[in-house]
Amino acid sequence: MDIDSLLQPLDPPAPRATPPRPRQPWHWRLGQWLSAYLPLLLMALLALGTWWLVQNTPRPEMPHELAAPRHEPDYTMQGFTLQRFGADGRLRVSVQGAQMRHYPDTDTLEIDGVTIRALSPDGSVTHATARRALTNGDASEVQLLGGAQVVRTGSSDGLRVEFESEFLHAFLNAERLRSHLPVRLRQGTSELRIGAIDYDNLTRSAKFGAPVRARLDQPRR
């Protein structure tokens, strides 16, 4: 063997054949896929749930101006009688009418063909009639409209005083009567025709508006 043949490079050894990797079962591969992508799926589901909550959360209503209540009756009554009693159980006011309408916006009653009978603590009786009336809830303040008449009779002296006008505003608890329209006032055989009136029965005083015309008869002895 010569030296040149010893100096020749040796051929590399032939690579060994790699045996094929065995195919893993499908459930094992699915587990590997889920372990790799599960965090990403959870983040996507969380984002989707947040979006759904935002879309379905009730939004606060924008403040809006409340509509003024309409002046319309919420109930009516036909052929009625209302009575109000005092703390002592005695009858104070009785109201009768052909028709009544209650307006909730003002808490007032509108009555057609009204008749009112009020009793004072001293026993005096006030009787009022009109074609129409407007009253508050307890009938302590009454506006009589159209052919209004108020008759008051004293308990002790039986003195009868009559007021007639197209408008009379009666304050039953305060025992006052007002009108800005002409009034005819009669007491016994005396009669007054006045342009306006403000009458206070408790103080026995009255203010008359012009013009004033009177017919005064001397009371019999």
Over residues 102-118, mean pLDDT:
91
Query: 199 or 36, which is more confident?
Result: 199
Inter-CA distances, 45 with 17, 37, 39, 147, 220, Å = 46, 12, 10, 81, 106
Q: pLDDT class for 48, splitting at 50, 70, 90? A: confident
- Torsional sign, CA 70, 109, 83, 180: positive
| Structural domain count, the chain | 1
Q: pLDDT class for 196, splitting at 50, 70, 90? A: very high
- State the pLDDT at residue 138: 78
Instruction: Give the contacts of 39 (CB within 8 A, at least 6 positions apart).
Output: none
Q: Please indicate, yes or no, if residue 89 is contained in any of the structural domains.
A: yes
Q: What domain range is 95 assigned to?
A: 75-215
Q: Which of 113, 95, 100, 98 is nearest to 74 (CA)?
A: 100
CA dihedral of 122, 124, 130, 133, whole degrees rounded to 10: 0
Per residue in 8-39, pLDDT (tens digit) is 555 555 555 555 555 666 555 666 666 666 66
Q: Please indicate, yes or no, if residue 35 is contained in any of the structural domains.
A: no
Rounded Cα gap, residues 100 and 110, in angstroms: 6
pLDDT over 70 at 129, yes or no: yes
Q: Please indicate, yes or no, if residue 105 is contained in any of the structural domains.
A: yes
Residue owning tokens 């008359």: 208
Q: Please indicate, yes or no, if residue 55 is contained in any of the structural domains.
A: no
Query: 132 or 172, which is more confident?
Result: 132
Q: Please indicate, yes or no, if residue 52 is contained in any of the structural domains.
A: no
pLDDT over 80 at 49, yes or no: no
DSSP 8-state symbol, 120: -
pLDDT over 60 at 59, yes or no: yes
Query: 200 or 139, which is more confident?
Result: 200
The answer to whether residues 52 and 60 touch, using CB atoms and an 8 Å cutoff, is: no
- The CATH number covering residue 200 comes to 2.60.450.10
- State the pLDDT at residue 157: 72
Inter-CA distances, 137 with 12, 60, 84, 97, Å = 119, 38, 10, 15
pLDDT over 90 at 151, yes or no: yes
pTM here? 0.65
